[in-house]
Every structure is written in structure tokens, then in C-alpha cells.
């Protein structure tokens, strides 16, 4: 599997060994007002904005940097490809968490939008493997599906109520009774993130934003502004490749409000899971 991981990322033009270094001249967080209109970016403007935001000039046309194959959904080869890609991503995330453990990155693990709990389960297992058995794992979800998408700043694919799973179902999936480190916080983010349970989260070492749409993503980022620790990981589960809509827009609007933070590209997974390293500007990059 290690060779598969190396081959997959090399084929995509990424390296598993060394992330792009931060440019010395990137001393101030970019301001949205100093960048091209986020509602009307050309492909080149998107590439330049990505370079400035997190040190990787991202292309919009991914045909030459992503592996792709098509099988009927009920074909065994579809499932084999799916499983191999998921395992590859999971192994790389495990490597990131192992590195955090070795370098003493502080903080809890948090996912915003957990659906049926698959990534909460993975994070539990990964932190166990890394020896981080004292870390709380928080899962924020409405358990009612998506809130209403924004009329302008979300694509038409997203619908209110999509990806709903009941709390009882998620608790069964995660075996909550046997895993006290996992803490579920219920409600739409505009309500849940201001409650007492959310304030107990404290520092955050790993954050997955899987709320799909613009307004909830922006609320989650604002919650994280002073919580992301040096060396933490920030994941966007549904990266839009467009700073005018969805999670991409939320990030573009938020980044200018966190001048104490710097971001470094780690990898883009096969389902557009964008992984970034978060660095504090007043601390040395040992990652």
C-alpha cells in the first residue's frame, strides 16, 4: 500500500515527502479586497489566489492531475477503486496525525457536519493508533441535514435537508457508549457554536469542515479563528475550486480576519478533500 500511496500522489504531481515551503515574502494574510473579484475569477486568478492563500497554485481543470476511471456503480472494480482511493487518503491522514503526535501539536479533533459518522470513527481510530487517547473528538451536526443553501453563494446541487442522519443512528454507528472521547453537539451551527458545550472545545489540532455550503462553513471558520493551534490541520471536505461559492468563498472571506495564521497546502484528496497545515506566524515552521 505504501507504494500505491507514493505512486498515486506522484502521478497527481504532489509529493508525500515535502510540502511546498512558505514564501518568505508572504508576511501578511491576504485581504479579499486586494484580490480579484471573488465572484468573477478566471482560471488564472483562481490559481494565483490559491498560491497566495496557501502556497499552491491550484488548477481548476484537474484532468491532468487527478486519476480518473469509470465503472458501473455495481461493478466490483468500482468498489475496488473506491476502497483503494479511500485507503490511500486515510493512510496519509494517519501520517499527518502521527506527525502531530510526535511534535506535540495540542488540541482536540473536530468535525463540522458528520452525517453518519464515518470520519469521526476514522479520527477516533487514528488518534488511538497515534497514542492520542487523551484527545476529545467533537462532532457537530444538526442531525436534520443541510440548512438552507444561500441563493447566490452556493451551487444548485445542494438542497435543504440533504445528508440527514438521526442522532440515534450516528450514536449506534460510533458506539458512543463505549467511546467517551467522542462528544456529539447537536444543532445548526449558528446555534450550537455559541452554546456552553462548544465553548468547552478549547484548542483544536484537527478540524474537518464538511458542512458543504457557504454560510455554515463561514460560521465554523469564525469559531476556529482563535482555536487552531500551531501545526494543526484544516480540512475542507467539499472544496469548490471557486472562491465565489461554498466552502471556497467562506475561506476567502475569512482568511483576511486571521492575520496571525498562515496556511500551507498538504494535499487534495480524490473527493476534493483539501488538507491545509495551519501555522502561527510568530512560531517556527517545524513541519
pLDDT band for 48, please (50, 70, 90 cuts): very high
**Is 60 a member of any domain?**
no
Share of the chain above pLDDT 70, in %: 86
Question: Torsions phi, psi of 67, nearest 5?
Answer: -75, 140
Going by C-alpha positions, the residue among 63, 87, 34, 18 that lies closest to residue 265 is: 18
pLDDT at 73: 79
**Is 240 a member of any domain?**
yes
**Is 254 a member of any domain?**
yes
Tell whether the torsion through CA atoms of 121, 123, 125 and 131 is positive or negative. negative
Strand partners, 98: none
Please count the other Cβ atoms lying within 10 Å of the Cβ belonging to residue 196: 7
Q: What do you get for the CA distance between the two ends of the chain, in Å?
A: 24
d(CA 172, CA 116): 10
**Is 208 a member of any domain?**
yes
**Is 110 a member of any domain?**
yes
The 10s digit of each residue's pLDDT in 217-274 is 999 999 999 999 999 999 999 999 999 999 999 999 999 999 999 999 999 988 899 9
Which of 58-67, 69-78, 253-262 comes out lowest in average pLDDT?
58-67
pLDDT at 256: 95
Tell whether the torsion through CA atoms of 18, 22, 23 and 24 is positive or negative. negative
What does the DSSP 8-state code read for residue 70? Answer: -
The DSSP-derived string for 251-270 is HHHHHTT-TTEEEEEEEE-T
pLDDT band for 40, please (50, 70, 90 cuts): low
Please count the other Cβ atoms lying within 10 Å of the Cβ belonging to residue 173: 16
Residue entry with cell 491576504: 30
Instruction: Please count the structural domains in the chain.
Output: 1
Q: Which domain holds residue 122?
A: 105-280
**Is 132 a member of any domain?**
yes
CATH number at 195 reads: 3.40.50.150
Amino acid at each position: 500500500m505504501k507504494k500505491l500511496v507514493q505512486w498515486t500522489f506522484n502521478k497527481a504531481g504532489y509529493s508525500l515527502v515535502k510540502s511546498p515551503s512558505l514564501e518568505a515574502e508572504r508576511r501578511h494574510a491576504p485581504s479579499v479586497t486586494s484580490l480579484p473579484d471573488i465572484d468573477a475569477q478566471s482560471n488564472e486568478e483562481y490559481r494565483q489566489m490559491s498560491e497566495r492563500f496557501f502556497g499552491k497554485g491550484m488548477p481548476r481543470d484537474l484532468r491532468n492531475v487527478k486519476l480518473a476511471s469509470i465503472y458501473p456503480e455495481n461493478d466490483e472494480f468500482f468498489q475496488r477503486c473506491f476502497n483503494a482511493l479511500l485507503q490511500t487518503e486515510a493512510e496519509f491522514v494517519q501520517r499527518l496525525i502521527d506527525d502531530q503526535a510526535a511534535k506535540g501539536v495540542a488540541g482536540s479533533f473536530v468535525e463540522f457536519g458528520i452525517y453518519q459518522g464515518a470520519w469521526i470513527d476514522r479520527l477516533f481510530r487514528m488518534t488511538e493508533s497515534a497514542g492520542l487517547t487523551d484527545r476529545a473528538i467533537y462532532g457537530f451536526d444538526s442531525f436534520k441535514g443541510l440548512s438552507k443553501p444561500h441563493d447566490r453563494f452556493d451551487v444548485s446541487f445542494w438542497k435543504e435537508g440533504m445528508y440527514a442522519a438521526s442522532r440515534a443512528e450516528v450514536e449506534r454507528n460510533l458506539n458512543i457508549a463505549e467511546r467517551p472521547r467522542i462528544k456529539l453537539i447537536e444543532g445548526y451551527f449558528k446555534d450550537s457554536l455559541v452554546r456552553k458545550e462548544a465553548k468547552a472545545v478549547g484548542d483544536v489540532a484537527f478540524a474537518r469542515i464538511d458542512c458543504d455550503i457557504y454560510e455554515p462553513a463561514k460560521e465554523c471558520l469564525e469559531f476556529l479563528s482563535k482555536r487552531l493551534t500551531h501545526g494543526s490541520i484544516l480540512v475542507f471536505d467539499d472544496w469548490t475550486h471557486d472562491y465565489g461559492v461554498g466552502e471556497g468563498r467562506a475561506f476567502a472571506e475569512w482568511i483576511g480576519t486571521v492575520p496571525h495564521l498562515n496556511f500551507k497546502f498538504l494535499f487534495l484528496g480524490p473527493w476534493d478533500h483539501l488538507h491545509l497545515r495551519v501555522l502561527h506566524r510568530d512560531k517556527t515552521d517545524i513541519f
